[in-house]
Amino acid sequence: MASLTLVHLLLAASILTPTLGRLCTSPSQLRGNTYDYIIVGAGTAGNVIAARLAESGHNDILVLEAGVSHEGVLASEVPFLGPTLTPSMPNLPSICYDAYASGSDTPYDWNYTVVPQTHLNGRTFPFGRGRILGGSSSVNYLAHQYGSSEDYDRLARITGDSGWAWKNMRRYIDRHEKFVPPADGHDTTGQYTPSLHSTRGILPKSLPGFSHAIDSRVIATTQELSAEFPFNPDMGGGNVLGLGWTQSSIGGGTRSSSATTYLNSVINRRNVDVLVNAQVTKLVHTGKIGGKNMSDHVLLSNNWRVRGTESLDNLLRDPVVFGAALDQWQASKTGPLANGLPNHLGFFRLPDNSPIFTTTPDPASGPKASHWEILVSNFWVNPSLPQPDTGNYLTLSVALISPTSRGTLKLASNDPFQAPLIDPNFLATDFDRYTMRESVRAIKRFAGANAWSDYIVGPVGDLAAETDEGIDAYVRSFSTTVSHPVGTASMSPRNAAWGVVDPELRLKGAEGVRIVDASVWPFVPNAHTQGPVYLVAERAASIIRGY
C-alpha cells in the first residue's frame, strides 16, 4: 500500500544519523526487497498506516521518508518551539532558535512558498510542510481537535459511504487518543468533558500545562459576551461552536507526534523497515491526477498593546528568561515551553442574517459548523510582522474555516526535485473576504469586553481600521496560511467521474495504490487538521485490513 500524493512525488534528500532500531539510511540496509505494503511518507497518516498494518506481524512493511529523523531534534520535543522547525513563523526572535532550527530554511521542512497571491497584494510567504519522521505532526502548532460532526456527515454524503459519518468514526477516537493530565498537573474540572475522550489510545493529548494571567479574562469574556462568544466545555464531541480550552498533542510536557507514538510502537518489529532520505520521484499509472480543488484555512494575526508584564513577550526577548525556561523544561518538562501557543481557541458562525448569504449559499458543513476561528495568545504572534523590541502584547488571531476559494497544486517542471507551484488562491471570493472582514470586527468586540478594560491599551497598526475598505486593506496586507491544505486528491463516490480516490481511498484508475492524508478531504474541516487526518488514517488501516 503506497500512501501517495502529488506532494509526496516531489521529495528532496537530507542527512541524519540513525538512532531508531530499524531506521535505515541506505537501501542496502533493508532486510529484503519484497514487501506487502510500501508507505510513501512517514507523516501524520503514513505512520498510522504502518503501525496498524504491522500489528498482526503477518505483513512486511516498508516506510519511505524523504526527511530526517525526529530523534535528537530538541525543538520537536519542546512543544513551544515547534514553529522554529519551519519557516512559517519567520519572525520569532533569534533566541528561540538553536542548532536544531535556523528560523528560515530548515532541514525539517520542505521550505515551500506559495505563488504570489492575487488577492493578498501579490504577496508570497512560507507554506510549512514537515520533512521529518512524523511529517507535519512533528513540527505543527499541536492543536488537536476532530472537527464538527457535520464535517464527517457531509463527507459520508459526498462519498456515498456511511462509514465516514461521525457516529461511525467516533470509534477511531478510542483507538487514537490517550487523554492525559496536563504538564503542571492542575485541576482540570470544567475545562473538558472526560466522557468524550479516550484514555486507552496511542497518542497522548492534554489541556494546557501552563497557566497564563489572561486565562481568567478570556473566560470572563465568554460570560460577559455569552451571546456572541459562548463557552464551549469541550469540542471533542463534534460540537465545535464556542470558545474553550485548547487540547493539544502533548503528553508529559513533550510533543506527541505520529513518529513518537505510532511509528515508535513498531519500529523494532522484524516486519517493519523505515528508510529515510528516500525519494519517490515517479509513480507510473494511468489513474486520476490530483492537484485541483485545493482548500486551506487563512490566518490573520491581530495584536494589541497591553499594560503590565503578564505576557510572555520577555521570554522571547531576554536570553536569561528564555534560558531559565528551557532549563526548567529539560529538568521537569514543565513551564511555558511545555505548552503550545494558545491556551484558548474557539469556532464561530456569521449571523444567520448576514447579507452575504443573499448571494452566497452557506459553505459550512452544517448549522453546527463554523465560518471562522479565534486563537488567543499571551504574547506577540505574527508571521507577517516581527516582534517589537519593547512592550507587551495580546494576540487574537482569526482563521477562515469554511473558505469558498479553491486553489491548485501543480508541478513546476518534470524535475521531481523542483518545488511545486502552490497556489491556495486565498480570498478569491466575496464570501471569504466578507468573513475575514467580519471576523476582525468580531475580535474587536471581544477585546472591547470589560474583562480587558484595565489591560488592553490599543490595537497595533492598521488593526485600528474601521471602514470596510480599511479592514479589507489590512486583511490583504497581513493574511497568511494556517498550513491546513486539503482537497487535491479528493474522495468521491466510487463511480463518479470527478474526484481522485474512491471512498476506500483507492486511486481511481490504478491498481494497488491508496492515498491516505489530508488531501483526500474534499473540503477543509472545522479543526486544525492533524486530528481529522489521524481519524482518516485509522479508518484507512481498518479498511485495508478488512475490518
- Binding site as annotated, residues for FAD: 280
CA dist., res. 66 & res. 42, Å (int): 8
What residues contact 57, with CB distance under 8 A and at least 6 apart? 269, 271
Burial zone of 373 (CB within 10 Å; 0-12 exposed, 13-18 middle, 19+ buried): buried
Going 512 to 517 to 518 to 519, the CA torsion angle's sign is negative
3-state secondary structure 136-178: HHHCCCCECCCCCHHHHHHHHHHHCCHHHCHHHHHHHHHHHEE
CB atoms inside a 10 Å sphere around CB 319 = 10
CA distance 432 to 439: 11
**Taking every pair of C-alpha atoms in the chain, what is the biggest distance, in angstroms?**
67
SS (H, E, C) 384-420: CCCCCCCCEEEEEEEEECCCCCCEEEECCCCCCCCCC
C-alpha cell at 62: 516498508
Is position 186 annotated as part of the catalytic site? no
**Containing H/E element for 545?**
helix 530-545
User: Is 371 an active-site residue?
Assistant: no
- Residue in the structure block whose three cell numbers are 496560511: 481
70, 212, 344, 484: the active-site residue: 484
The angle formed by the CA atoms of residues 185, 188 and 190, to the nearest 5 degrees, is 175
SS3 348: strand
Q: Give me 174's grid cell.
A: 478510542
How far apart (Å, rounded) are the C-alpha atoms in residues 271 and 287? Answer: 30
One-letter-per-residue 3-state SS of 273-341: EEECCCCCCCCCCCCCCCCCCEECCEEECCEEEECCCCCCHHHHCCHHHHHHHHHHHHHHCCCHHHCCC
- Distance CA(428)–CA(230), nearest Å, equals 30
Question: Which of 8, 144, 371, 528 is flagged as catalytic?
Answer: 528
Q: Cell numbers 493574511 correspond to what residue?
A: 479
| Cα-to-chain-centroid distance, residue 150 | 19
Annotated binding site: 280
**How far is CA 104 from its chain centroid?**
19
Q: What is the DSSP letter of 259?
A: I
Other CB atoms within a 10 A radius of the CB of residue 318 amount to: 14
Residue 77's alpha-carbon distances to 45, 98, 253, 254, in angstroms, are 19, 13, 9, 5
Q: How far apart are CA 267 and CA 136, in angstroms?
A: 19
What DSSP designation does 253 have? Answer: T
Q: Among all residues, which ones are annotated catalytic?
A: 484, 528
